[in-house]
Amino acid sequence: MSVPSVLFCPTTYGHTVQTSLLALLGRHISQHVHAMQLRCNGALLHCDRDATTSFHRRFESCLECMAQSSDFATWTGASLFQVTAYLPAADVERSKRWLSTLEADELPEAHFDGVVPFAWCTDLFNARFQHVPFQAHNKQHELFMRRHMLSVIRTRLSVRRFLFTHKPELIFAVESQEVFSRALAESAQDIGINLITLSSSIDGRRLELEQWHTGQRFAVDLLIQDYKQVRHDMDTWPEELREQLQSIAQFAQLDLPQRAVQTSSTMRAMHGR
Nearest C-alpha neighbor of 113 from the set 73, 152, 57: 152
Average pLDDT over residues 139-152: 96
CA distances from residue 235 to 42, 93, 230, 263 in whole angstroms, order as listed: 36, 51, 11, 11
Domains of the chain, each with CATH number or no CATH: 5-94+156-270 (3.40.50.620)
For 65-86, the three-class secondary structure string (H helix, E strand, C coil) is: HHHHHHHHHHHHCCEEEEHHHH
Distance between CA atoms of residues 111 and 116, nearest Å: 5
Q: pLDDT exceeding 70 applies to what percent of the chain?
A: 92
pTM: 0.87
Q: Would you say 159 and 176 are in contact if contact means Cβ atoms under 8 Å apart?
A: no
User: What pLDDT, on a 0 to 100 scale, did the predictor assign at position 261?
Assistant: 45
DSSP 115: B
Q: Which range (147-161, 162-176, 200-214, 259-273) has the least confidence?
A: 259-273
Distance between CA atoms of residues 199 and 207, nearest Å: 6
Q: With the CA atoms of 72, 75, 79 and 83 taken in that order, what torsion angle do they form, in degrees rounded to the nearest 10?
A: 10
DSSP 253: T
Average pLDDT over residues 62-72: 87
Distance between CA atoms of residues 20 and 15, nearest Å: 9
User: What pLDDT, on a 0 to 100 scale, did the predictor assign at position 89?
Assistant: 95
Residue predicted with more confidence, 261 or 238: 238
Query: Which band of pLDDT confidence, cut at 50, 70 and 90, is reported for residue 14?
Result: low
